[in-house]
Amino acid sequence: MTFSIVGQVGDAFGVAVASKFPFVGAVVPQVRLGVGAVATQAMARVAYRSVALDSLASGAGADDAVAACTAPDPDRAHRQLGVVGLDSQATWTGGACMDWAGGVSGRDETGGYAIQGNILTGSDVVSEMEAAWLASVGSSLTDRLVATLLAGDAAGGDSRGRQGAALYAVQPGAGYDHCGVLADLRVDDHDDAPQELARLLRINDLVFGGPEDVSPLAGDLADEVAVRLAHLGYSGTLTDALGAWAGEANYEMRMAPDGIDAKVLAALRDATPDA
């Protein structure tokens, strides 16, 4: 009923998942800083998440983490699991999972991945997801996870339709107040949940991302920013006016002392089309 990607880029780990099941984010993914990530699905057993992560934390590899979950479970034939640790990865599909069901795991220069799905339109869902993951090397973990999920959805995804999707990813020092959370997003009931998840990720990156592609506030750009801020009612020095607007708009994490972040500039332009 579900397809997912468990992925790693350096010290960042995450899971993206989509399903006809509406509240899939409450069941499938779990990630632990410095340890790894896991997705449990099909006839999901939520306890697999902590068992797998505890196993990884103890120094076991992903295959052993899968065994720790499935070996004592009499219903393992109905379950599916993806695990990625610091230097290992594994995917597992029980023989009684509903067709089409299967998965693939591997490792590129940035880290490991495990892709799996059940009740899919066909095996090409998983193969297209793997191709998308490998083609996106160089992008951020969250962008790669969502691109991989969208590739699976475009290939057919869950044969029953799309209703729920989720993304959870962590990296040391990332996120609000440097809590370590890159993204924690859920779409619980939407006609096109994977695309809605992608939209939410763009907002998440704007609000929680740090400054990037910073342009100096000088010359014509400084004049433009000042005019746009004045149009919104912000006055004073350019730095103070920009800081006041960005704080109210929740963009303070993207503020840079020596200029303006490209995404903040785009948001300012979108907010002032008539300036």
Q: Report the pLDDT value the prediction gives residue 173, as an integer from 0 to 100.
A: 92
Structure tokens at 158: 């869950």
Higher pLDDT, 76 or 175: 76
- DSSP strands (E only) in 146-256: 164-170, 181-187, 214-215
Alpha-carbon span 218 to 259, nearest angstrom: 8
Q: Report the pLDDT value the prediction gives residue 160, as an integer from 0 to 100.
A: 78
Rg of the chain over CA atoms, in angstroms? 21
Q: Are 20 and 27 in contact (CB under 8 A)?
A: no
Band (pLDDT 50/70/90 cuts) for residue 1 is low
Q: Is the pLDDT of residue 41 over 70?
A: yes
Which residue matches tokens 């990607």?
5
Bond prior to 245 in cis (omega within 30° of 0): no
Q: Report the pLDDT value the prediction gives residue 121, as an integer from 0 to 100.
A: 92
Alpha-carbon span 62 to 206, nearest angstrom: 33
Residue 199 phi/psi, 5° resolution?
-65, -45
Higher pLDDT, 177 or 65: 65
Q: What is the largest CA-CA distance in the chain?
A: 69
- Please report, for residues 163, 221, 274, the alpha-carbon distance to residue 158 in angstroms, rounded to integers and kept in the order given: 10, 47, 44
Structure tokens at 250: 């929740």
Residues of the chain with CATH 3.60.20.10: 2-208
Packing angle between helix 124-135 and helix 141-154, nearest 10 degrees?
150
Residue 95 phi/psi, 5° resolution?
-65, -20
**H or E stretch covering 260:** strand 260-261
- Please report, for residues 48, 53, 74, 88, 212, the alpha-carbon distance to residue 202 in angstroms, rounded to integers and kept in the order given: 30, 29, 42, 30, 14
**Taking residues 121-130, what's their average pLDDT?**
96
Instruction: Name 216's Cβ contacts closer than 8 Å, sequence gap at least 6.
Output: 258, 259
Q: Is the pLDDT of residue 59 over 80?
A: yes
Instruction: Name 49's Cβ contacts closer than 8 Å, sequence gap at least 6.
Output: 29, 30, 38, 40
Alpha-carbon span 64 to 117, nearest angstrom: 21
| DSSP conformational letter for 100 | S
Q: Which CATH architecture has domain 2-208?
A: 4-Layer Sandwich (3.60)
Report which of 196, 180, 187 is spatially closest to residue 166, judged by C-alpha positions. 187
pLDDT of 140-177, one tens digit each? 999 999 999 999 999 987 777 789 999 999 999 998 88
